[in-house]
A and B are shown apart, each in its own frame.
Chain A
């Protein structure tokens, strides 16, 4: 399907204008197919990216470059089911991307 969401990357730049993501841990809620996850992973130290759609999570994983694969942890689940596993670190930024 030849359609491109925000090919200019305006949304990612707006986020980076709000927060310095360098070395930060990010929880993205509603990551979809990784439209913002992938560009933000260039700067953040770690991203947990969740979305209720397993199909979208699979598409995001396929689109993720190998060099960023260790930075991003994808999970197919809604925010209602998400919880921090014991001992895991909290986040510096939580991002709701068109998901409220």
Chain B
């Protein structure tokens, strides 16, 4: 991973920079949103313990520690995956995030909220992501 960062640095023009976006290691929230409000249903869990997110963090840290890049700006931000049903969310997870799963308790909570809130309810994955700016450190070599 850190190799990918180092390699990509060779494609930068002078004055260019790298931005890395990845999700935080903390489990994202599963919510149900409707005109009546936003309701917490549980967490999305991962059978790999969000290892990919942890490795992305480490790659950025290693690139800085090795003196290849300087981390010049960091921002944490929230973003959402919005599905029209739990089945749609399940289908997306199966395709794009195989290690993630919902507990039976969370699934029941989602279904009860959707039943109560009606057709306008959305099943929402509430993600917290980090964006890091890396600037190459100039060398005389």
**A residues whose Cβ falls under 8 Å from a Cβ of B:** 1-8, 10-11, 14-15, 17-19, 25, 27, 29, 79-80, 84, 89-98, 100
Contact (Cβ within 8 A) B83 A94 = no
**Mind listing 21 A-B residue pairs with CB under 8 Å?**
A1-B88, A1-B91, A3-B88, A3-B89, A3-B91, A6-B80, A8-B80, A10-B77, A14-B75, A14-B131, A27-B11, A79-B7, A79-B8, A80-B7, A90-B12, A91-B13, A92-B13, A96-B19, A96-B20, A97-B21, A98-B22
B99 interface contact, C-beta 8 A:
no
Select from chain A the residue with minimum beta-carbon distance to B19. Answer: A95
Select from chain A the residue with minimum beta-carbon distance to B75. Answer: A14
Contact (Cβ within 8 A) A18 B80 = no
State which of A3, A4, A6, A94 has its C-beta within 8 Å of the C-beta of B19: A94
